[in-house]
Amino acid sequence: MGKIQQLWRCPECNFETNYRGSCKDCSDKETNMWVQRERINADGSVYEKKLVSSTKGIDPEQMRAAFKANRAKQKKTRKQIAADKERQEAELEALKAAQAEQKAAEGSDHVHGPDCDHSSPDEIVFGVSEEE
């Protein structure tokens, strides 16, 4: 893709050209009067450059946080993967131990089977009615 062609026009004689600078016809070297061309759009209107003003500088804390986030996205090493796996296994063991302690505290060693009936008199059962 090529560069966008810029058009320049002299404000006094309206001569259009592809390069900026002083208009050769309207400028006078002897009196030191230089007429600068102005940039125009393809439709002939005057080009207005959009200025982007940054009101605040870079915050070091945000820059550090972005750096750390970028580093965290990087591929983990084998040692890091192994350490994560060991940590997850330890958490799983701790969770299983906590569940076993909770069952022991409740005193329920009941194993659920097909003949279990855990209904209570206040329980409402939703389902298909026998009339249908």
**Pair (95, 68) in one structural domain:** yes
**Pair (41, 3) in one structural domain:** yes
- Range(s) of the domain holding residue 70: 60-103
- 17, with CB counted inside 10 A (0-12, 13-18, 19+), is middle
**Pair (42, 1) in one structural domain:** yes
Q: What pLDDT sits at residue 26?
A: 87
Residue 55 lies in a domain: no
Q: Which residue matches tokens 């993967």?
A: 81
**Pair (42, 65) in one structural domain:** no
pLDDT at 104 exceeding the cut of 60: yes
Look up residue 121 and give its two tokens: 């008199």
**Please, which residues bridge with residue 43 across strands?**
none
Residue 63 to residue 19: CA distance in whole angstroms? 41
Instruction: Categorize the per-residue pLDDT at 63 as very low, low, confident or very high, splitting at 50, 70 and 90.
Output: very high
Residue 111 lies in a domain: no
Residue 19 lies in a domain: yes
Please tell me which residue, 91 or 25, carries the higher pLDDT value.
Answer: 91
Residue 44 lies in a domain: yes
SS3 9: strand
pTM: 0.37
Where is average pLDDT lowest: 33-37, 40-44, 45-49, 126-130? 126-130
Q: What pLDDT sits at residue 85?
A: 96
Question: pLDDT tens digit string along 9-42?
Answer: 998 898 888 888 888 888 888 888 888 999 998 8
How many domains does the chain fold into? 2
Residue 130 lies in a domain: no
Listed in sequence order, the residues at least 6 apart from 26 whose beta carbon sits closer than 8 Å to its beta carbon are: 10, 12, 13, 35
**Pair (41, 70) in one structural domain:** no
Residue 75 lies in a domain: yes
**Pair (37, 4) in one structural domain:** yes
